[in-house]
Amino acid sequence: MFNPIRLLLSLAVCASAAAATSPPPALLYAGIPWRVPADSARARLEAQGFTYGREDRFHDLYFHRGDGTLLKAEMQDGRLVGIVVADMARRAAVDPRFAALVDSFTAAHGKPDSVTATYAHWEAGLSELVMYVSFDGAVRHVELDWMGPGELDEMDRRYQTVRDSSDLSLPALPAGYTIVRHTGLARTSVDTARLARRAGGVLHGRFRIEYVRPVGPDSASFDSAEYEMDFDCAQGRTRLAARSMRLHGAVRHADTYNGLPWETPRPDGHYARGLKAACAAASVLRPAR
């Protein structure tokens, strides 16, 4: 639980392309808003019965509670972006505790987006809750990872500072981009600085999909694809405006388009992933004027 670089979850989450026009409320731990300052986060957690322990080199805050629960508050530039909880249940109590927690969170947050006997995942906009059976040394426990807007960006930044040159890795994102999905082998991000809501609730913006290793045929392989599109979250449709494919930073192919029709993207393709990412990132947009 308390490795200073918490690996980004590599479990691929199957997701539908369609999304609600208005993103659902963020998933919050104990009602604490994301991006509150560190001192406010500490005060709120202490009010929940946690005792402060220490601060690490990334300025994350560590807490414990009398029932055995451990908690780490993850920070980005001094503001709360993630909560990692090692639940009090241990050993034989883990499986029934996990099942009870899934039932409890299902009642509070709705059906999980993905669930197995030892893993459950909820997402809402740029916030996520991942619950799974984990190990602390030889001891099984239930871990809950609450992730807010900016948490994936911060974990990616930290990894860049400690990775070995031989590691499979991705370059730093251009300014304005926010990571929406990271599988360890591929990263999907949205340019939230330019993402805009247009008439009828349609979004317009750019997204990137990047791979740690090139994909596609040798004659046209690429490791980065960037698209500019219109996104109709309510209807699950996209309309392409521009795209470019790169390999090691060099453009291999680029096109611009005008007046293309709306299309329903192929499931699990780039357009579907971009639609889902853009609709999730819309949670950071201000209401249309």
Instruction: Verify that 214 and 261 share a domain, yes or no.
Output: yes
pLDDT at 13: 34
pLDDT of 163:
62
Residue 59 lies in a domain: yes
Whether the Cβ atoms of residue 142 and residue 69 lie closer than 8 Å to each other: no
Provide the percentage of residues in the chain whose pLDDT is more than 70.
88
Is residue 86 one of the residues assigned to a domain? yes
Does 157 score more than 50 pLDDT? yes
The two tokens of residue 165 are 């040159």
Min mean pLDDT across 4-13, 117-126, 208-217, 256-265 is at 4-13
Given a contact cutoff of 8 angstroms between Cβ atoms, the answer to whether 149 and 180 are in contact is no
What's the whole-number mean pLDDT along residues 164-190? 83
pLDDT digits (tens, 9 = 90+) for 66-86: 999 999 999 999 999 999 999
What is the Cα–Cα distance from 162 to 58, expressed in whole angstroms? 12
Question: Does residue 28 lie in a domain region?
Answer: no
Answer yes or no: is 160 within a domain: no
Q: Which residues of 158-186 are buried (b: 16+ CB within 10 A; e: fewer)?
A: bbeeeeeeeeeebeebeeebbbbbbeeeb
Q: 183: helix, coil or strand?
A: coil
Identify whether residues 120 and 223 lie together within a single domain. Answer: no
Please report whether residue 157 resides in a domain. no
Lowest mean pLDDT among 73-82, 151-160, 238-247, 270-279: 151-160
What SS3 class is residue 220? helix
Q: Look at residues 101, 117, 152 and tell me which one is the last residue of a structural domain.
A: 152
Least confident segment among 73-77, 89-93, 209-213, 233-237 = 89-93
pTM of the model: 0.81
Most confident of 13-17, 54-58, 165-169: 54-58
pLDDT (mean) for 160-165: 65
Residue-level pLDDT at 7: 38
Mean pLDDT of the 201-217 span? 94
Confirm whether 144 is domain-assigned: yes
CATH number for the domain that contains residue 181 = 2.40.128
Average pLDDT (160-173) is 69
User: 183 and 266: one domain?
Assistant: yes
Residue spans of alpha helices (H) in the chain: 38-47, 94-109, 151-162, 270-281
> By mean pLDDT, which of 21-35, 160-174, 270-284 is the weakest?
160-174
Residue type at position 212: V
Whether residue 184 is found in the same domain as residue 273: yes
Could you tell me the residue range of the domain that residue 218 belongs to? 169-284
Please state the domain count of the chain. Answer: 2
Express as a percent the part of the chain with pLDDT over 90.
73
Q: Are residues 110 and 178 in the same domain?
A: no
